[in-house]
Amino acid sequence: MIEVEIKVPISDKNKIIQKLKNIGFIFKKSVIQKDIYFQHPSRNFVKTDEALRIRETPEEVFLNYKGPKIDTTTKTREEIEISLKNGKNLIKIFEKLGFQKVILIEKKREIYELDEIKASVDMVKGLGDYLELEILLDNRKQLDTKRELLFSILDRLGISKDKIIRKSYLELLLKI
């Protein structure tokens, strides 16, 4: 799966939420997410631009691998995700294999959807508020078209492309 993603900091989340609704986005849910990031014992994920995390919500747990970014204007990258029943046991396995916990990132996420586009309004502990727009693709053939669709939504929200941040919350918190 390829995740085409745009992230921008926002100063007034309520204003952005209202604009999303005006465009036609529908509120789906609000969730607390805790992301635990890991460092490989012999591979530097900072240098390879990869990430490995366990995401816990009150309802579910996921293991995510995120590959290197594949374009120069967005956070588009390959993402592999699997659902888990027990994240604590996987953490123990990782630690036994030499993986190290890097950081815990906590956020409240409000999710809105319009067709294939997911908009997340994130309140990230220690960072502030952000808007993420994303579309998932099966292959790269539609990458340019879908990226332009996200740019058009950003424009309709009155947000300049100059505000786009290509760094993950992990990179922002660690100041990488």
Task: Give the catalytic positions in this structure.
Answer: 37
Whether 54 contacts 87, CB under 8 Å: yes
Side chain identity at 85, as an amino acid letter? K
- Burial profile 121-140: b = 16 or more Cβ within 10 angstroms, e = fewer: bbbbeeeebbbbbbbebeee
Q: If we measure between CA atoms, which residue out of 172, 23, 42, 17 comes closest to residue 109? A: 17
